Structure 1
Amino acid sequence: MSTAFEDRLRAVAQERYHDRHPFNVRMHQGELTREELRRWIRNRFHYQRHIPVKDALITAKLHTSRLRRMWLRRIQDHDGQADGEGGIERWLRLGEAAGLAPSELLSGEAVLPGVRLAVDGYVNFCRLRGPLEAVAASLTELSAPDIMRTRIEAFERHYPWIDTGGLAYFRTRETQGRQDSGEALGLVLSWARSEEDQERAVAALVFKCDVLWSLLDAVDHADAKEQP
């Protein structure tokens, strides 16, 4: 049963992951304009800056020191252990490499309404659901290493106007995503013993895939002329 359950989770993470979204497909094929890519960086940053927020909510649900220490590492990965460190800082450097000032990303003024709704929905999901569902929703990380490798190659090949130093976030997440997904998968497999729990875990992962897909829908359908 556990093997079949794991197979279901991996299938959802693979088949519904946002690497299949038309916007990501165009990105990786080198078909985005500069403004489209900058629009994605602006709006994706809104998601990135809320990752440690949702992880803090998940940490508060964990019942042992060992598990809290494990999950706290995720917050440190994104917030850093000091100013100028961490994944959020690396995303700001990506923005700079693409011609976007950090102040523009930090202001959030250009974030699309659909992106705000998607991110709020995910944060509230982690706030209101139990630890099983909150952790299961993070299993989109199972597909993260592959998309990071693809993205690095695409940026280096198709978008030479972006300084390669700005790709540090993608390079770091390739390793972090593998560790994060392995830990989360182990927790979900050990917690979800009943059929009902397994269904809840799969539904949580489907929801998270839909969040990422909805975020890209908003970015893909926005009129570039409305962006600063």
Structure 2
Amino acid sequence: MTADTLGTRPAWSPDALEAHLRELAAMRYHDRHPFNRRMHQGELSPEELRRWVANRFYYQCNIPVKDAHILAKLALPAQRRSWLRRIQDHDGVTEGDGGLERWLRLGEAVGLDREELLSHEHLLPGVRLAVDGYVNFCRHGTALEAVASSLTELCAPNIMLTRLETFPLHYPWIDASGLAYFRSRVPQGRRDGSEALTWVKEWAVTRDQQERALAALSFKCDVLWALLDSVALRSAPR
């Protein structure tokens, strides 16, 4: 191990940092949230599913926005070219393509009108606050912190596979074509998580930088958890 710049705390090895990041992600990812567990166990009503889809769409819309802020922080052309692909994944390279379009089709499959989603008329204040906070974090944070916050991608493929398995079983009324977003995110999440992890391990060479990376990932987990808290509270009986 090497000493950090203050000489007080030794830096972790790259492999040890990866282990810490993966452990944090596994323990804090929102697949553990009660709302997601109810979803995957088939316990959500159609109204609850529609509320989740409508509110999650605000997050989906802001993914390319936060990625644009990260893109502007990257120093090397190769890095920018690579990160640009994430924006294209969500916005599409052509009209009618990309993750946002696939999420709109999911919304239609659960019974929402496309204009309802685009207008964000069902957006809950807590969801707006959480998502806007994440965008601002990526706007004002360092490149290391912003990229590290994206490491929830390490867990994303598994939750997408779970939804592909459980939705047809528990929610057969949802047209299978509406699940295309989940299918596309499996390979994308694996690719993006691996890339971001490689960069964080290369950039975070002092203990302070490593702990900042962990804090950034923890914050992102909080964002995803807070989003579901808002949706679950609104869904609860009154």
TM-score normalised per structure 2: 0.93
1:79 has 2:91 as partner: yes
Q: Structure 2: where are the runs of 5+ without partners?
A: 1-12
CA deviation string 1:33-66 (max 9, x = no partner) = 0000000000000000100000000000000100
For the residues of structure 2 that align with 1:27 and 1:110, how far apart are their CA atoms?
A: 19
Question: Secondary structure of 1:49's match?
Answer: helix
For the residues of structure 1 that align with 2:109 and 2:47, how far apart are their CA atoms?
A: 13
Q: Structure 1: where are the runs of 5+ without partners?
A: none
CA deviation string 1:172-219 (max 9, x = no partner) = 001100000000000000000000000000000000000000000000
Using the TM superposition, give the Cα deviation of residue 132 of structure 1 relative to its aligned residue in structure 2, in angstroms: 0.1
1:45 has 2:57 as partner: yes
For the residues of structure 1 that align with 2:155 and 2:77, how far apart are their CA atoms?
A: 28
1:153 has 2:165 as partner: yes
1:140 has 2:156 as partner: no
Structure number with bigger Rg: 2
**Equivalence for 1:26:** 38
**Equivalence for 1:70:** 82
Structure 1 residue runs of 4 or more that deviate by more than 3 Å after TM superposition: 223-226
8 Å contact from structure 2 (residues 148, 200) kept in 1:
yes
**Equivalence for 2:6:** none
TM-score normalised per structure 1: 0.98
8 Å contact from structure 1 (residues 36, 224) kept in 2:
no
8 Å contact from structure 2 (residues 48, 235) kept in 1:
no
- Counting aligned pairs with the same residue, the percent is 66
Using the TM superposition, give the Cα deviation of residue 223 of structure 1 relative to its aligned residue in structure 2, in angstroms: 4.4
Amino acid at match of 2:21: L
Using the TM superposition, give the Cα deviation of residue 224 of structure 1 relative to its aligned residue in structure 2, in angstroms: 7.0
For the residues of structure 1 that align with 2:24 and 2:95, how far apart are their CA atoms?
A: 36
